[in-house]
Amino acid sequence: MKMLINVAETVVADALRGMAAAHPELTVDVDNRVIVRRDAPVPGRVGLVSGGGSGHEPLHGGFVGPGMLSAACPGEVFTSPVPDQMLRAAAAVNSGAGVLFIVKNYTGDVLNFDMAAELAEDEGIQVAKVLVNDDVAVTDSLYTAGRRGTGATLFVEKIAGAAAEEAAPLERVQALARQVNENSRSFGVALSACTTPAKGSPTFDLPPGELELGVGIHGEPGRERRAMMTSHEIADFSVNAILEDLNPRNPVLLLVNGMGATPLLELYGFHAEVTRVLTERGVPVARTLVGNYVTSLDMAGASVTLCQVDEELLRLWDAPVKTPALRWGV
Amino acid sequence: MLDAEFFRRWMTATAASVDREAERLTALDSPIGDADHGSNLQRGFTAVVTALEKEAPDTPGAVLTLAGRRLISTVGGASGPLYGTLLRRTGKALGDAAEVTEEQFTDALRAGVDAVMALGGAAPGDKTMIDALVPAVDALAESFGAAKTAAEEGAVATTPLQARKGRASYLGERSIGHQDPGATSSSLLIGALMEARDE
Q: What is the DSSP string of A143-183?
A: GSS-PPP-THHHHHHHHHHHHHHTT--HHHHHHHHHHHHHT
- Tally A–B CB contacts below 8 A: 115
DSSP secondary structure string for all residues of A245-312:
T---SS-EEEEEEE-BSS-HHHHHHHHHHHHHHHHHTT--EEEEEEE-SS--TTB-EEEEEEEE--HH
Compute the nearest-CA separation of B124 from chain A (Å): 14
A222-228: average pLDDT: 86
Q: Is A75 on the interface with B (CB under 8 A)?
A: yes
Residue A75's pLDDT is 96
Q: Which residues, numbered 275 to 294 in chain A, qualify as contacts with chain B under a Cβ-Cβ cut-off of 8 Å? A: none
| CA–CA gap between residue B25 and residue B14 (Å, rounded) | 14
Say yes or no to pLDDT of A216 above 60. yes
As annotated, the active-site residues of A are: 56, 218
* pLDDT bracket for residue B103 (50, 70, 90): very high
Check residue A217 and give its pLDDT: 81
pLDDT at A205 (0 to 100): 81
pLDDT of A220 higher than 80: no
Contact of A286 with A314, CB cutoff 8 Å: yes
Q: Is A212 on the interface with B (CB under 8 A)?
A: no
Q: What pLDDT score was predicted for residue B170?
A: 81
The answer, yes or no, to whether residue A223 has pLDDT greater than 90, is: no
A68 lies within 8 A of chain B by CB: no
Residue A143: per-residue pLDDT: 66
| Local confidence band at B34 (pLDDT 50, 70, 90 cut-offs) | confident
**pLDDT over 80 at B123, yes or no:** yes
Number of Cβ atoms within 10 Å of the Cβ of B73: 17
The mean predicted confidence, pLDDT, of chain B is 95
A219 and chain B in contact, CB less than 8 A: yes
CB proximity A107 to B under 8 Å: yes
- Quote the pTM value: 0.93
Strongest mean pLDDT among A132-141, A166-175, A211-220 = A166-175
3-state secondary structure of B169: helix
Using CB atoms, pick whichever of B40, B82, B170 lies closest to residue A216: B170
Q: What is the pLDDT of residue A200?
A: 86
In chain B, residues with a C-beta closer than 8 Å to the C-beta of A81 are: 76
pLDDT over 80 (residue A312): yes
Eight-state DSSP code of residue A30: T
Given a cut of 80, whether residue A222 has pLDDT beyond it is no
% of chain A beyond a pLDDT of 90? 88
Q: What crossing angle do the helices spanning A311-318 and A170-182 adopt, rounded to 10°? A: 110
User: CB–CB of A223/A188 below 8 Å?
Assistant: no
Task: Give residue B198's pLDDT band: very low, low, confident or very high (50, 70, 90).
Answer: low
Residue B181 confidence class, pLDDT cut points 50, 70, 90: very high
As a whole number, mean pLDDT of residues A74-84 equals 95
Chain B CB contacts of A190 under 8 Å are none
Distance CA A195, CA B56 (A): 39
* Across A20-40, average pLDDT: 97
Give residue B36's pLDDT: 84
Nearest to A288 by CA among A325, A321, A317, A324: A317
| Average pLDDT across chain A, whole number | 95
Q: Give the distance from residue A107's alpha carbon to the nearest chain B alpha carbon, in angstroms.
A: 6
Give residue B167's pLDDT band: very low, low, confident or very high (50, 70, 90). Answer: confident
Q: Please list, in sequence order, all residues whose beta carbon lies within 8 angstroms of the beta carbon of residue A272, skipping any fewer than 6 positions away.
A: none
Q: What whole-number distance in Å separates Cα of residue A195 and Cα of residue B124? A: 32
Has residue A122 got a pLDDT over 80? Answer: yes
Give one DSSP letter per residue of A189-222, joined into a string.
EESS--B-TTT-SBSS---TTEEEES--SSS---
A59 band by pLDDT with thresholds 50, 70 and 90 = very high
CB spacing of B72 vs A115 below 8 angstroms = yes
pLDDT at A26 over 70: yes
CB-CB neighbors (< 8 A) of B170 in chain A? 137-138, 144-145, 148, 216, 220, 223
- The interface residues of chain A toward chain B in range 308-327, judged by CB-CB distance below 8 A, are none
Four-residue CA torsion sign, A276, A280, A285, A289? negative
Cα dihedral sign, A31-A34-A40-A43? negative
For chain B, where are the E strands, in sequence order?
A: 2-3, 99-100
* Interface probe, candidates A220, A223, A296, A297, chain B, greatest B C-beta count within 10 A: A220
pLDDT at A140 over 70: no
Whether residue A169 has pLDDT greater than 80: yes
pLDDT at residue number B16? 98
Q: Name every chain B residue with its beta carbon within 8 A of the beta carbon of A88.
A: none
Whether B50 and B8 have beta carbons less than 8 Å apart is answered as no
- Alpha carbons B187 and A277: distance in angstroms, whole number: 50
In which band, very low, low, confident or very high, does the pLDDT at A94 lie, cut at 50, 70 and 90? very high
Confidence of residue B71 (pLDDT cuts 50, 70, 90): very high
Angle (CA) B166 A174 A325, round 5°:
75
* Residues of B with Cβ-Cβ distance to A199 under 8 angstroms: 26, 30, 35-36
pLDDT above 70 coverage of chain B, percent: 99
Q: What average pLDDT does this structure show over A28-43? A: 97
Question: H-helix or E-strand containing A54?
Answer: strand A47-54
B47 phi and psi, to 5 degrees?
A: -65, -35
Lowest mean pLDDT among A11-25, A205-219, A289-303, B147-161: A205-219
A138/B170 touch (CB, cutoff 8 Å), yes or no = yes
Q: Say if the Cβ atoms of B162 and A108 lie within 8 Å.
A: no
Q: CB of A316 within 8 A of CB of A307?
A: no
SS3 A225: strand
